[in-house]
Every structure is written in structure tokens, then in C-alpha cells.
Amino acid sequence: MNREEILNAIDEKYKAIGQDADVHLLGLLHAEPITYWNYINVDALLGLQIQRTQLPEK
């Protein structure tokens, strides 16, 4: 697929759901790339852990 075909496909996709593809494309200019570790949010997952023992923390 060339760039024009890709942009047309994106435009059709968003028109089908009643949204403006340009809004989404403009958002890409301001978005930062996301890493896997940011995506799974490791700190939040670790915070959900429940202590199972009464051993003192070191």
C-alpha cells in the first residue's frame, strides 16, 4: 500500500464510525510513542500486590 492508499483507508475507517480522521491524525503529532512498560503500567500493577506474609520489610 502506498501513502495515499493508507490515508484513504484511514479516512474511510473513521467516516464509517462518524469521526473525523484528521482529528486523529493531528493527535499523532502531539502524542509520544508508548513503550511496552508504559503500556502495562508496571508501577500500578506492583501497587496492587497484597502482602501475604507478616515478614518485616528489609
DSSP code per residue over 22-48: HHHHHHHHHPPP--HHHHHTHHHHHHT
pTM of the model: 0.55
18 DSSP assignment: T
Per the CB < 8 A criterion, the answer to whether 43 and 33 are in contact is: no
CA atoms of 15 and 41, how far apart (whole Å) = 32
pLDDT confidence band for 56 (50 / 70 / 90): confident
More confident position, 55 or 48: 48
pLDDT one-digit tens code per residue, 22-52: 999 999 999 999 999 889 998 898 888 888 8
Per the CB < 8 A criterion, the answer to whether 42 and 35 are in contact is: no
